[in-house]
Homo-oligomer: A and B are copies of this chain.
Amino acid sequence: MNRTASIKDVANQAGVAVGTVSNVLNYPDRVSERTKERVLKAIDDLGFVRNDAARQLRAGHSRTIGLIVLDVGNPFFTSVVRAAEDAAALQGSAVLLGDSGHNESRESNYIDLFQEQRVQGLLISPVGDVTARLNVLRERGVPTVLVDRLADDAMFSSVSVDDDEGGYLAARHLLDIGRRRLAFVGGPLSIHQVADRLRGAQRAVKEESDATLEVLDSEGQSVLAGRGIGNRLVERPAKNLPDGIFCANDLLALGVMQSLTMMHTLRIPEDIALIGYDDIDFSVSAVVPLSSIRQPTEAIGRTAIELLTEELESQQVRHRAVVFTPELVVRQSTAGAEASL
């Protein structure tokens, strides 16, 4: 178990100077064919592998981008992450992934960690109010792009989806198919995506004088949390039930659906129409295929990297806020029997 070879060992083995080995690695054109061959042979013989820590130390920064998301288990973020990784790879950067799990202290830990790693830049879907910290970061030359959150573009670049509009679309759709006693499932409302979607829904409901919107606060956005809400609903007398439910994401909606359909006394969509948010892959194959609001996840991930690259390349501070528009996807959970996939 001998120490791994360094560039110096390679230089000795090949009978050249360390600078030459470095040139072979980084600027092959500067080196003669003969020398290059000898060096490459030595590299191979010794099984030399560059030490990235040393490169980084010298360079003063890594070739790495930090990405902090709220929940990697959520297919929405999984998809965003993948897109960001691909986009980063194209320009030769790697992505360090952090999962805050909606937890401020974990979020803060990841910011610390990424700072120690000297990431080139940071993409973050923030939990708490981290603007102060992010400003400090930027002053030190580490730009940040906010993901899935609109930012004042005087402060930061951001990529987001219009959650208010998405909420409006969802509720408007329920109203359009004749539902009037709506319920919103999601929480805690401190999560801004949840709050925005609710606000949009309320806007739509206000357009119909005879419509009401009940808010059912959930603990988190998981399938399990949805099942909890659903179980409480089925215990109500039928007349107190909503006839249209809008869930802040598909996981919740699938959970609610599970509970509602379990006893076979309630029908979706006849008794209760149900719509989710995110349009994850599994929604199509739900008990009742789930209507949803689709967000352009690939575009979000890709754009986030693009905005970051812009900031990295131009030293003058010029921020942009890109806002995507979500899209209604109607499936059986909000349609009559005539509806198809």
A: which residues have CB within 8 A of B?
A: 1, 3-4, 47, 49-54, 56-57, 60, 62, 72-73, 75, 78-79, 81-82, 85, 94, 96-97, 99, 112-113, 115-118, 136, 139-141, 223, 251, 254-255, 257-258, 262, 281-282, 284-289, 315, 341
A139 touches B53 (CB 8 A): no
Q: List 25 A-B contacts (CB under 8 A).
A: A47-B136, A49-B115, A52-B53, A52-B116, A53-B53, A53-B54, A53-B57, A53-B62, A53-B117, A53-B118, A72-B78, A73-B75, A73-B82, A82-B99, A85-B99, A94-B113, A223-B281, A223-B282, A223-B285, A254-B285, A257-B285, A262-B341, A282-B282, A282-B286, A287-B288
The residue in chain B whose Cβ has the minimal distance to the Cβ of A262 is B341
Contacting A287 at CB < 8 Å: which of B81, B112, B287?
B287
**Interfacial chain B residues near A53, Cβ < 8 Å:** 52-54, 56-57, 62, 117-118
Q: For residue A78, which residue of chain B has the nearest CB?
A: B73
Q: Considering residues A53, A117, A286, which has the most beta carbons from chain B within 10 angstroms of its beta carbon?
A: A53
What residues on B are CB-neighbors of A97 within 8 Å?
A: 97
Could you say which residues of chain B place their CB within 8 Å of the CB of A54?
53, 57
A47 touches B258 (CB 8 A): no
Q: Are B140 and A4 in contact (CB under 8 A)?
A: yes
- The CA of A312 and the CA of B339, in the complex, are separated in Å by 58
Q: A286-B286, A287-B285 are in contact. Are A140 and B51 (CB under 8 A)?
A: no
The 4 A-B residue pairs whose C-beta atoms are closest, nearest first, are A53-B56, A282-B282, A254-B285, A52-B116
**Chain B residue contacts of A258, Cβ below 8 A:** 284-285
C-alpha spacing A62/B57, complex, angstroms: 14
Closest to A50 in B: B116
Complex Cα distance, B284 from A49, in Å, reads 47
Contacts of A281 in B (CB 8 A): 223, 251
In the assembly, what is the distance between CA of A284 and CA of B118, in Å?
Answer: 43
A1 touches B139 (CB 8 A): yes
Contacts of A288 in B (CB 8 A): 287
Q: Are A140 and B254 in contact, with the CB atoms below 8 A? A: no
A255 vs B140: C-alpha distance when bound (angstroms) = 49
Contact partners of A78 in chain B: CB under 8 A: 72-73, 78
In the assembled complex, the CB of A295 is this many whole angstroms from the nearest CB of chain B, namely 16
Which residues of the partner chain B approach A56 to less than 8 Å between Cβ atoms? 53
Contacts of A223 on B, CB cut-off 8 Å?
281-282, 284-285
> Which residue of chain B has the shortest Cβ distance to A49 in the bound complex?
B115
For the complex, give the distance between the alpha carbons of A262 and B62 in Å. Answer: 51
How many angstroms from the CA of A281 to the CA of B285 in the assembled complex? 13
Q: Considering the complex, give the chain B residue whose CB is closest to the CB of A256.
A: B285
Q: Which residue of B lies closest to A53 (CB)?
A: B56
Determine how close the nearest CB of chain B comes to the CB of A144; give it in whole angstroms: 14
